């Protein structure tokens, strides 16, 4: 009897330990990765051309934030599809979305990078890693679609190297009855 009770106790404790580890992994991911429904801060910034912008506060219905660094090979590989998103964003959103690049680099390096890749959207250069972490931009490239309410509607961490990455952003900024009612899905 004592052996059966001890076995049951060991199994129960093992199950509780497993659940505690799963909860710890979930919490660590939630604290470091962007997720659908996450609120983002509003941070005043200045673009490379001197215009004032507020990251996390769309001028219209949506703000697409593209976090990158100039030395990141995945960001470099993502540049053509980010340009594609920029070119299609206005028609997909009906003019209700803006794309802002956020370079986690000095302004001169960000400007050279934007010219090299032909980025025709506003770029903000910042070296303030604390502000970037508020958007969970721990890993780059990172695409976030932020709604007027300040909540993330779409998040993609990692290289944007497929049409699915482009379509995910464009779908998030289209207004349909289904997407207006709730958040979209996350890709990673």
pLDDT tens for 166-176 read 999 999 998 65
Express each pLDDT in 61-111 by its tens digit.
Answer: 999 999 999 999 999 999 999 999 999 999 999 999 999 999 999 999 999
Query: How many angstroms from the chain centroid is the CA of residue 166?
Result: 13
Residue 187 scores a pLDDT above 80: no
- The CATH topology of domain 34-181 is Glutaredoxin (3.40.30)
Domain regions of the chain by residue span? 1-32, 34-181
Taking the C-alpha atoms of 28, 32, 37 and 41 in order, what is their torsion angle to the nearest 10 degrees?
Answer: 140
């Amino acid at each position: 009897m004592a052996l059966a009770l001890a076995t049951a106790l060991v199994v129960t404790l093992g199950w509780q330990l497993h659940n505690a580890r799963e909860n710890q992994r979930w919490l660590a991911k939630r604290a470091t990765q962007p997720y659908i429904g996450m609120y983002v801060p509003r941070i005043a910034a200045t673009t490379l051309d001197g215009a004032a912008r507020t990251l996390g506060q769309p001028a219209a219905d949506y703000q697409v934030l593209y976090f990158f660094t100039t030395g990141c090979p995945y960001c470099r590989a993502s540049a053509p599809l980010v340009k594609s998103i920029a070119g299609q964003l206005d028609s997909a959103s009906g003019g209700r979305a803006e794309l802002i690049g956020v370079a986690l680099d000095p302004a001169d390096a960000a400007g050279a990078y934007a010219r090299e890749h032909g980025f025709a959207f506003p770029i903000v250069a910042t070296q303030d890693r604390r502000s970037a972490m508020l958007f969970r931009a721990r890993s780059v490239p990172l695409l976030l679609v932020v709604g007027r309410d300040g909540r993330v509607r779409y998040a993609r961490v990692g290289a944007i190297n497929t049409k699915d990455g482009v379509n995910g952003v464009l779908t998030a900024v289209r207004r349909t009855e289904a997407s207006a009612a709730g958040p979209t899905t996350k890709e990673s």
